Amino acid sequence: MLRELHIKNLAIIDDVTVEFEPGLNVLTGETGAGKSVIIDALGLALGERASGERIRSGEKEAVVEAFFDITPERLNSSACLLLKDMGIDIEDGLILKRILSAQGKSRAYINNSMVNVQTLAEVSIGIIDVHGQYEHQSLLKPDKQLELLDAYGGLNAERQKVTALYGSLLSLKQQISELTEKDSERAQRLDMLGFQINEINAADLRPGEEEELENEVKILGSAGRLAELANEAYESLYASDTACMAGLSGVLDALRQINGVDAKADESVKSVEGALPLLEDAAFFLRDYKDSLDFDPRRLEVVQERQELIRSLKRKYGKSVKDILDYGDRAEKELDDVQHSGEKLEALKTELGSIKKTLTEKARQLSKKRKAVSKKIDKQAVKELAQLSMIDTDFLVRISNDKGDDTTDGFKVNSGGIDRVEFLISPNIGEELRPLSKTASGGELSRVMLALKGILAKGDSIPVLVFDEIDAGIGGKAAETVGQKLKNLSSGHQEICITHLPQIASYADNHLKIEKKVEGGRTVVEVRKIEKDERTEEIARMLSGDSSEVSIKHAEEMIRSKSNT
């Protein structure tokens, strides 16, 4: 619900905070007291167009803040997703803020995070409806009208089935489109894939091969020097007359003789005995290694050619041998898909035909039920409007279809089915039925909305309803009916209503009085809650223009009778 509206420096308002309560909130006051400014200010907070001319004379900027005590669950899914993506937390409620400069520029905020004006409108559209103005009425939108009709008729489950079938239809059409597009290039793609697969397979690559080849090139390029080093080391260690191994054997004999006399040399004997086999192994390695380095220029050329082949494949298929092999695997899978695409395409077309048949049946059934529900709404709306002093008003829920190929009988489908729904109205005899969005009178539109809200209440999840000019051109019994309907509707919604009629004001759960005063040579506006005697006096003023004894008694009786409803 809307808890608080703070307005500063807008039109004749200097600084006002309006507090609202659950149920029916009524704002009353003399003509010109500033009631319309309250609604204008609320519109600014909801993202409506702004003009620097609305700023209070002599001030640099105007500020409007609207605090909604609302949980994330009450917001529509798109608004929740939008706020989540922007990192805006709404667990403690929602503050919509608009700052308007004298130059005509404006800034917008949600919970102190700067946003654009469009975001204000998108977030608030599922929270509040302002009737009597045209910018912020969800019920004027055909999509909302279809949604309400389905909710009123208990058709949401059937609609969800149609929505699911429609999603399957779109998915299949997309797959068929992609396969058809590929089919036109099928021969070329088959040739290309075949060439790529053969080229990769012919290379017979192995993971890690590139590193092995690089190491072999290094060895082949240094084969002469490596052989020379190995031979020198082998000679020094084993083969020459002065070889290390021969000298070490003499050392071992001396140590053994010493050990035969003095056991202290035992460890040294063991050390040299252990070293001799190791040195012998090293000598044999050097001998074999030297013999293996039979430099073959042809082998170096073969290895370098292999490296160039791998580099060529890397330029085409990836940055490494692994990438090339992975590309080959994917190409083989795609080749299989392309080779069997004709079969898959036919299977998808068969499945599409089945889905289309089922969708046609379900959408037709849903459309038939909608038409039956729409007739009930037509009759109820005409009856309700007559009670609201719109006696000659005609109302019609128009259900139409567009031609297309989504169904077997030639209709276009969307997520809601084959139907386009629009609420039409003719306020006067002889006038043609026109869409609600083109209804001229704000007062008439407010009463139409009130009638429809009452009829369609169970399908309407918007928590806050604002009615402005709802009493234009009515009085007496019709005014009493309007008040009663507002009161009934307030059981499921918070309502804010600006009115001149005591019949409506007397139904209020929260009565706010707007007064215009002069302070310090400037006009200021005051908005405050009135109760008991003060409220009685205000109802009396609305009845007769003064607070006479007769009007006071009448007001008391009116308030007392409404308190029992």
- Chain centroid to CA 27: 37
Instruction: Quickly tell me which residue has 């059409």 as its tokens.
Output: 173
Specify if 3 maps to a domain: yes
* Residues 139 and 129: beta-carbon distance below 8 Å: yes
Q: Which pLDDT band holds residue 18 (cuts at 50, 70, 90)?
A: very high
* Residues 484 and 507: beta-carbon distance below 8 Å: yes
Q: Which pLDDT band holds residue 477 (cuts at 50, 70, 90)?
A: confident
2 and 121 share one domain = yes
Instruction: Please give the pLDDT value at position 129.
Output: 82
* Residues 214 and 307: beta-carbon distance below 8 Å: yes
* Residues 117 and 123: beta-carbon distance below 8 Å: no
Specify if 436 maps to a domain: no
Task: Assess whether pLDDT exceeds 90 at residue 530.
Answer: yes
Specify if 438 maps to a domain: no
Task: Assess whether pLDDT exceeds 70 at residue 471.
Answer: yes
For the segment 265-297, what is each residue's pLDDT rounded down to a tens digit?
888 888 877 878 888 788 788 777 776 776 667
Q: Which two tokens stand for residue 137?
A: 């009425």
- Chain centroid to CA 224: 70
| H or E, element range at 131 | strand 128-131
Burial class (CB in 10 A: 0-12, 13-18, 19+), 386: middle
57 and 121 share one domain = yes
Instruction: Please give the pLDDT value at position 184.
Output: 64
Instruction: Please give the pLDDT value at position 160.
Output: 93
Question: In the listed set 316, 339, 362, which residue is the last one of a domain according to the structure?
Answer: 339
For the segment 102-128, what is each residue's pLDDT rounded down to a tens digit?
887 889 999 989 999 888 888 888 788
Q: Looking at this protein, which amino acid is placed at residue 188?
A: Q
* Residues 433 and 426: beta-carbon distance below 8 Å: yes
Indicate left, alpha or beta for 494 from its phi (over 0: left) and psi (-120 to 50: alpha): beta
Specify if 33 maps to a domain: yes
Specify if 212 maps to a domain: yes
523 and 540 share one domain = no
Give the integer Cα–Cα distance in Å for 481 and 473: 14
Burial class (CB in 10 A: 0-12, 13-18, 19+), 12: middle
Instruction: Quickly tell me which residue has 């308007």 as its tokens.
Output: 100
Q: Which pLDDT band holds residue 163 (cuts at 50, 70, 90)?
A: very high
Instruction: Please give the pLDDT value at position 190.
Output: 81
Q: Compute the average pLDDT of residues 341-345.
A: 79
216 and 290 share one domain = yes
Q: Residues 504-535, buried b or exposed e (16+ Cβ, 10 A)?
A: bbbbbebbbbbeeeeeeeeebbbbeebeeeeb
- Number of residues written out for the chain: 565
Task: Assess whether pLDDT exceeds 90 at residue 23.
Answer: yes
Q: Which pLDDT band holds residue 223 (cuts at 50, 70, 90)?
A: low
517 and 555 share one domain = no
Which structural domain range is residue 551 located in?
Answer: 531-565
Question: In the listed set 339, 368, 384, which residue is the last one of a domain according to the structure?
Answer: 339
Q: Which pLDDT band holds residue 508 (cuts at 50, 70, 90)?
A: very high
107 and 240 share one domain = no
Specify if 148 maps to a domain: no
Q: Of the ranges 22-26, 165-169, 249-253, which one carries the lowest mean pLDDT score?
A: 249-253
Closest CA to 494 of 517, 467, 476, 515: 467
Specify if 564 maps to a domain: yes
Question: In the listed set 297, 313, 339, which residue is the last one of a domain according to the structure?
Answer: 339
206 and 112 share one domain = no
Q: Compute the average pLDDT of residues 527-532.
A: 92
Task: Assess whether pLDDT exceeds 70 at residue 442.
Answer: no
First to last CA, the chain: 23
Q: Compute the average pLDDT of residues 483-490.
A: 88
80 and 112 share one domain = yes
Average pLDDT, the chain: 85
Task: Assess whether pLDDT exceeds 90 at residue 364.
Answer: yes
For the segment 512-529, what is each residue's pLDDT rounded down to a tens digit?
999 888 887 888 888 999
Instruction: Please give the pLDDT value at position 111.
Output: 92
Q: Of the ranges 430-444, 481-495, 544-558, which one carries the lowest mean pLDDT score?
A: 430-444
Instruction: Please give the pLDDT value at position 70.
Output: 86
Cα 182-186-187 angle, rounded to 5 deg:
160
Which segment, 255-264, 292-301, 479-488, is predicted with the most confidence on average? 479-488
- φ, ψ at 42 (rounded to 5°): -60, -40
% the chain with pLDDT above 90:
32
Task: Assess whether pLDDT exceeds 80 at residue 224.
Answer: no
10 and 44 share one domain = yes
503 and 553 share one domain = no
SS3 546: coil
Instruction: Please give the pLDDT value at position 379.
Output: 93
Closest CA to 105 of 61, 41, 64: 61
Give the integer Cα–Cα distance in Å for 343 and 408: 23
* Residues 141 and 420: beta-carbon distance below 8 Å: no
Specify if 172 maps to a domain: no
Q: Compute the average pLDDT of residues 200-207.
A: 89
> Which residues are paired to 478 by β-bridges?
none
Q: Compute the average pLDDT of residues 32-42.
A: 84
Q: Which two tokens stand for residue 381?
A: 């709306």
Q: Compute the average pLDDT of residues 93-101.
A: 92
Q: Tell me, what CATH number does 70's domain have?
A: 3.40.50.300
Q: Which pLDDT band holds residue 137 (cuts at 50, 70, 90)?
A: low
Q: Which pLDDT band holds residue 221 (cuts at 50, 70, 90)?
A: low
Burial class (CB in 10 A: 0-12, 13-18, 19+), 434: middle
**The total number of structural domains that make up the chain:** 3
Task: Assess whether pLDDT exceeds 60 at residue 134.
Answer: no
Give 169-205 as a DSSP string: HHHHHHHHHHHHHHHHTHHHHHHHHHHHHHHHHHHT-
194 and 114 share one domain = no
Q: Compute the average pLDDT of residues 468-491.
A: 82
Q: Residues 450-467, buried b or exposed e (16+ Cβ, 10 A)?
A: bbbbbbbbebbebbbbbb
Tell me the pairing of strands 13-19 and 420-426. Answer: unpaired
% the chain with pLDDT above 70:
94
- φ, ψ at 366 (rounded to 5°): -65, -45
Task: Assess whether pLDDT exceeds 70 at residue 441.
Answer: no
Instruction: Please give the pLDDT value at position 443.
Output: 66
For the segment 231-256, what is each residue's pLDDT rounded down to a tens digit?
778 777 776 766 787 777 777 777 78
33 and 72 share one domain = yes
Give the integer Cα–Cα distance in Å for 257 and 366: 113
Q: Compute the average pLDDT of residues 433-438.
A: 84
Q: What is the DSSP letter of 238?
A: I
Higher pLDDT, 158 or 188: 158
Tell me the pairing of strands 128-131 and 113-115. Answer: unpaired
Q: Which pLDDT band holds residue 361 (cuts at 50, 70, 90)?
A: very high
